[in-house]
Amino acid sequence: MKLTGNTILITGGGSGIGRGLAEAFHTLGNTVIVAGRRRQVLEETTSANPGMRSAQLDIESAKSIRAFAATMAKEYPALNVVIHNAGIMRPENLLEQAEELRDAEAIITTNLLGPIRLTAALLPQLKKQPAATIMTVSSGLAYLPMALTPTYCATKAAIHSYSMTLRYQLRGTKVDVLELVPPYVQTELMGSRQANDPRAMPLKDYIAETMKILKEQPQAKEILVQRVLPLRFAEKNGDVYEAFQGFNEAMAAGH
Ligand SMILES: NC(=O)c1ccc[n+]([C@@H]2O[C@H](COP(=O)([O-])OP(=O)(O)OC[C@H]3O[C@@H](n4cnc5c(N)ncnc54)[C@H](OP(=O)(O)O)[C@@H]3O)[C@@H](O)[C@H]2O)c1
């Protein structure tokens, strides 16, 4: 994708990776709209970045997505990039689950159905643009799951699969599909401990390396920073079940 002159919608753009990307694209001269549920978080982000726009969105609600896409088309007719960054991650003990499976349903609705619904709602507008990009956000855990967060990892594996088929079906259009594959990054995705965990990649470094890849490797379909490569290519690099075992034992031991 070109890195300037776009109109970019970033879901979950008020915090973490979404905010980091929003600020980087804003600095490069794009019109950036950050979206999410918490108004205060969005306002903090836009007031720290004059000219940045915001819009409230609850990606768990199908109705809200349809209304949101209609507003976007009206207010931002030049919208040509969507970054499906909003996501939640919760631990689940599969041996002791409440009957309603509330966490599993919320994770699937937010991380998987959300991007699918928003893509469907925005596609008519994106197809009209001279060049457009849909950027999905999966995870290194799509490729080597962390046992503590089963449904989360499953949604991210599904996002990878969906990104491939979406890219294929859109091959005759001007809409590109990119998949961002973050490693473990210092954000509050799993609470405030993650934001200070020395094992996680500092957010600034992650954003800087991501923007460098977008600039220097315009043909890349997946945006892979160095840190995510062992997870992304775990299948290729040996026995994936051994890698899975070792990875999860190390995580449980706090390494
Ligand atoms: N950090 C990591 O280690 C890591 C690794 C791999 C992948 N990722 C992925 O990167 C993305 C960003 O996560 P992050 O690490 O930056 O965590 P984060 O700071 O918690 O960001 C998640 C964002 O999603 C938004 N969101 C959650 N539920 C939503 C809903 N129902 N409707 C609209 N927005 C919603 C949140 O805003 P509101 O609460 O205000 O709605 C928040 O801004 C996620 O997709 C995550 O899975 C992160």
Q: Which residues pair with 64 in a beta bridge?
A: none
Q: Please say whether the beta carbons of 130 and 174 come within 8 A.
A: yes
Decide whether any atom of ligand 1 lies within 6 Å of the 20 Cβ. Answer: no
C-alpha 9 – ligand 1 centre gap (Å): 14
Strand partners, 114: none
Cβ of 16 less than 6 Å from ligand 1 = yes
Q: What percent helix, strand, coil does the chain show, rounded to 5? A: 50, 15, 40
pLDDT in tens, 144-201: 999 999 999 999 999 999 999 999 999 999 999 999 999 999 999 999 999 999 999 9
Q: Could you give phi then psi for residue 248, rounded to 5 degrees?
A: -75, -30
Domains defined for the chain, CATH in brackets:
7-254 (3.40.50.720)
Q: Is 37 in the pocket of ligand 1 (CB under 6 A)?
A: yes
Q: Is pLDDT above 80 for 29?
A: yes
Cα–Cα distance between 113 and 111 in angstroms, integer? 6
CA separation for the pair 208, 212 (Å, rounded): 6
pLDDT at 253: 86
Q: What is the DSSP string of 17-86?
A: HHHHHHHHHHHTT-EEEEEES-HHHHHHHHHHSTT-EEEE--TT-HHHHHHHHHHHHHH-TT--EEEE--
Identity of the amino acid at 55: A
User: What pLDDT, on a 0 to 100 scale, did the predictor assign at position 243?
Assistant: 92
Which phi-psi region, left, alpha or beta, contains residue 13 (left: φ > 0; alpha: ψ -120 to 50)? alpha
Ligand 1 atom nearest to CA at 110: 31
Atom of ligand 1 nearest to the CA of 86: 24
Amino acid 251: pLDDT:
87
Q: Which residues are catalytic?
A: 152
Buried b or exposed e, range 223-251, using 16+ CB within 10 angstroms: bbbebbeebbebeeeeeeeebeeebeeee
Distance (Å) from CA 239 to ligand 1 centroid? 31
**What region, left, alpha or beta, does residue 160 occupy, with left being phi > 0 and alpha being psi -120 to 50 degrees?**
alpha
Residues 152, 145: Cα–Cα separation, whole Å: 9
Contact in structure between 224 and 181 (CB atoms under 8 Å): yes
Beta strand segments in 93-228, E:
132-137, 175-180, 222-223
Is this prediction's pTM over 0.95?
A: yes
